Amino acid sequence: MLFKLQNIVKSFGSPGEPGYREVLKGLNLQVDKGELIAILGPSGSGKTTLLNIAGTLDVPDSGEVLFRGESLTGTTDLSLDQFRNREIGFVFQFHHLLPQCSLNENILIPTIPQKRRDREAKGYAEKLMKKVGIWEYRDKLPGKLSGGECQRAAIVRAMINRPSLLLADEPTGALDGENVDNLADLLIQMNKEEGLTVIMVTHSEKLASRMQRVYRINEGVLVDQQRL
């Protein structure tokens, strides 16, 4: 087991007050190393909340987040920052590349806290950029490139520190049909070649069907587990 969410409860607001909402209600998820997992669900169903808790960007009201069998509950903010930088890669619906930085500079930003050797980080960035087909654009600014090219750069940025787990929140929401297929191909390729474990939330049944395991989130719990 690489990662586990155990009996996760998460609400927003205060009970009895307007706007109070219980989003996750005893949710459980176990992920083994190298799995490709998709989570489907309508807007407001708790998909992003689940990912934020999985990535330690938010904390549950109750329940545990475990990584390689160790609980992250009660871990200090500094330790969680270091954990995220070392173990977790994030990809969002919009690439969030810094517009004033080249693709290469954007991709190398997560290596700064780790103080990795410059040559090692640049070498791995070159390898990944060539693999995803954006090496020739390495010195260009994001504003000069297509959405699909920028999203590929965002995936490389998420992988530059060789994370154990990639969390993707609607990563194809801003892409056209062809680029959706290309991104799915890329995640599968990285899974096979780099051993990448992926948890992806999406509205796309088509994209979910490319993953190994599919869950649906409904009324705060994961249901309809499906092995593909």
Model pLDDT, residue 112:
82
Residue with tokens 């992926």: 198
Whole-angstrom Cα distance, residue 9 to residue 3?
17
Asked if 142 and 150 count as a contact pair (C-beta separation under 8 A), the reply is: yes
Structure confidence by residue, pLDDT tens digits, 128-158: 899 888 999 999 999 999 888 898 899 899 9
Model pLDDT, residue 115:
65
Whole-angstrom Cα distance, residue 35 to residue 67?
15
The angle at the Cα of 55, spanning 52 to 57, to the nearest 5 degrees, equals 55
Model pLDDT, residue 123:
92
Model pLDDT, residue 131:
84
| CATH of residue 81 | 3.40.50.300
Asked if 170 and 202 count as a contact pair (C-beta separation under 8 A), the reply is: yes
Asked if 126 and 154 count as a contact pair (C-beta separation under 8 A), the reply is: no
More reliable by pLDDT, 13 or 32: 32
Please give the structure tokens belonging to residue 11.
């609400």
Model pLDDT, residue 39:
94
Whole-angstrom Cα distance, residue 16 to residue 12?
12
Torsion angle (degrees, nearest 10) of CA 212, 71, 170, 101: -120
Structure confidence by residue, pLDDT tens digits, 168-216: 998 877 667 777 787 788 888 888 888 889 999 988 888 888 899 999 9
pTM of the model as a whole: 0.88
DSSP 170: S
Q: Give me the domain span that covers residue 171.
A: 3-227
Q: Which amino acid is at 179?
A: N
Report the number of distinct structural domains present in the chain: 1
Model pLDDT, residue 117:
62
- How many angstroms separate the Cα of 74 from the Cα of each of 45, 78, 79, 216? 26, 12, 10, 29
